[in-house]
A and B are shown apart, each in its own frame.
Chain A
Amino acid sequence: MERKKSGGSFWRDTVKEFKRNRVAVLGTFFVLFVVISGLVGPFINPYPPLEIDMTNRLAPPSFQHLLGTDNFGRDVLSRIFYGTRLSLVVSVLSVTFSLAIGTSLGAVAGFFGSIIDEGIMRLMDVLFAFPAVLLAITIISILGQGVQNAIIAIGVVYTPIFARITRGSVIGVRGLDYVESARALGAGNTRIITRHVLPNSMAPIVVETTLSLGFAILSESALSFLGLGTQPPTPSLGRMLSEGRMYISGAPWLGVFPGIAILLAVLGFNLIGDGLRDALDPKLKGQGRI
């Protein structure tokens, strides 16, 4: 009830608490850096990412090619910019997929309880019983390879997490007085769930969304590394690592830089997620910091 009353100031306090956390702010910088590279990078880099230049194969980092070139003479920095953009798009779309489906299923399960709850949550348990990469490659084996299917596969992998978290929070708030009051005022189930229950269950969902954005980037890079995600010649960070691995002893930059890009993105989202968790949960204050 208190949260609802002071809705605005609750999130303002959270932002204030978050800003005080130096590590979380650092994470925000990492994410901003990665997002800006993905958005702006493709427009400022001097080389098209697919341009082949066989006279300049495996050139080490220099002023012409800041991060060197690959086995086709393609500029590594340009490809990292494009790959980062692709990773971010896949990550945002797949997490949106799991957020939309997982949150809806979890809210319905938690709100209605009984057999609906049992049915939905047992299905989620079954999906949860598959390790992430294995579930994703199984889904891709059915749907076929490619970026769209990778988005669906990663989306399905993270759906049960959102369903569980939402269900837990919804069960926590559904019996509270303000929900009963809304019902007494004649609000229907859909209105109660979307206007009263979900907004008050948001905190853990926000944290999980941030963390999942990082893990989705990891999953996408793993799938592309295995050749099941992005198809050549489209640059993707995972694919760059798998192609660069053959030439790595003579051209280590092919193996190092795409990995650093993945690390920065994942680390950034993780730090923000941890910071949000601390800021949203007063019990944890001071524990998650350095």
Chain B
Amino acid sequence: MTAYITRRLFTTLLIAVGISILVFLIVRTLPGDPARIMLGIQADETRIETLREELGLDKPIFIQYGIWLNNVVHGDLGSSVITGQSVSGSILNRLPVTFSLALSALFVALLIAIPAGTITAVKRDSYLASIITVLSQIGVGIPNFWLGIIFILVFAQWTQLFPSFGYEPLSNGFFSWARHLALPALSVGLITGAIITRFVRSAMLEALNQDFIKVARAKGLRESVVVFRHTFKNAIIPIVTVVGLQLAYLLSGVVVIEVVFALPGLGRLAFNSVTRRDYPMLQGAVLTIAISFTLINLLVDVLYAYLDPRIKY
């Protein structure tokens, strides 16, 4: 397993370097002077000249990349063209919002997916299973931002049960935090739940077909013991992988939902940077999201290897 983890760490490092090269190239592939792009149109010539020297723009491109990477590794992602704030500071401010949305959406998703997926596998021929299967199919096809709009219409405008936009930090009280997150978390969570339900179902079906389940039934064990103690325990490994991957997607910023609900998260930061042509901010946000996505994937793989000792690498 150590060999497997070492190999996996090595590929992750390779991918991280690849990501950094692509992110570095965002600014370099744009037509025009990178220093001017980084500082905005209104910057004065002396500042542009200083930055040109700092970025090593008169040097070969791989040396420019080295200078840029060195700054990034030291936490210096530059500053915003629009506000002048440091990019790393802005990203740190946004992280709690994206974390809150991701975790609450995953909570909603699991609350639905584990029982729904189990029922569709165990009671395969029941009407309930058919209804759940239809709903999960529909769920996978719904655009999450559309669900968000419908929820705003029903729960914020017609019934006024929840606020339709904005974010309250957890430090202002759990109730207010949860109320603001309810609709976005439901919009994303229901769809993620539909995706996970399908995986729970197939993992449970596969486990139910194993010989040891037949033995457990032949021994006369109660169905609940067969399902929960024997089947679920064996189905959990593929489920953990899918849940991990979904968490990676959620943590990487659900861009459109953050825009619909005006949540100041990482995804919205990336989107705003595109529309405002704030390239240093865009580079910072994209780099953070892609690297964290890769790291979570690494963690899921390592967890998988740890959970299933039968697998030889």
**A residues engaging B (CB < 8 A)?**
23, 122-123, 125-126, 129-131, 133-134, 137-138, 140-142, 214, 218, 221-222, 225-228, 238, 241, 245, 248-249, 252, 255-256, 259, 262-263, 266-267, 270-271, 287, 290
Contact = CB atoms under 8 A, between A and B. Distances in A.
B255 A225 contact: no
- Please list the 5 inter-chain residue pairs (A to B) with the smallest Cβ-Cβ separation, ordered nearest first: A126-B18, A259-B146, A266-B141, A267-B141, A249-B157
B145 A249 contact: no
Point out which of B19, B143, B270, B273 has the most chain A C-beta atoms below 10 A from its C-beta.
B143
Interface residues of B, number: 51
B26 A221 contact: no
30 contacts: A122-B18, A125-B14, A125-B15, A125-B18, A126-B18, A126-B19, A129-B294, A131-B253, A134-B252, A134-B267, A137-B255, A137-B274, A138-B270, A142-B30, A218-B141, A218-B143, A226-B256, A228-B274, A241-B143, A241-B149, A245-B260, A248-B152, A256-B150, A259-B143, A259-B149, A259-B150, A266-B141, A267-B138, A287-B205, A290-B129
Contacts of A141: 26, 273-274, 277, 279, 282
A34 B297 CA distance: 36
A126 B20 CA distance: 10
Given A218-B143, A290-B133, A131 B294 contact: no
B137 interface: yes
A258 B269 CA distance: 27
B119 interface: no
Interface of B: 11, 14-15, 18-19, 22, 26, 29-30, 129-130, 133-134, 137-138, 140-143, 145-146, 149-150, 152-153, 157-158, 202, 205, 249, 252-253, 255-256, 259-260, 267, 270-271, 273-275, 277, 279, 282, 286, 289-290, 293-294, 297
Contacts of B140: 266-267, 270
Contacts of B286: 130, 134, 138
A248 B282 contact: no
A137 B11 contact: no
B270 A122 contact: no
A226 B258 CA distance: 11
A142 B273 CA distance: 12
B249 A263 contact: no
A9 B273 CA distance: 54
Contacts of A222: 143, 145, 255-256
Given A122-B14, A263-B141, A129 B19 contact: yes
Nearest to B267: A134
A248 B274 contact: no
A225 B26 CA distance: 23
Nearest to B146: A259
A228 B249 CA distance: 21
Contacts of A259: 142-143, 146, 149-150
A131 B15 contact: no
A241 B255 contact: no
Nearest to B17: A126
Contact of A263 (B142, B271, B289): B142
A129 B294 CA distance: 6
Given A122-B11, A141-B279, 8 more contacts: A125-B14, A130-B289, A226-B255, A248-B149, A248-B157, A252-B153, A259-B150, A271-B137
B146 A262 contact: yes
Contact of B256 (A126, A133, A140): A133
B138 A263 contact: yes
Contacts of A228: 274
Nearest to A27: B137
B255 A133 contact: yes
B293 A227 contact: no
B83 to A, nearest CB: 18
Nearest to A266: B141
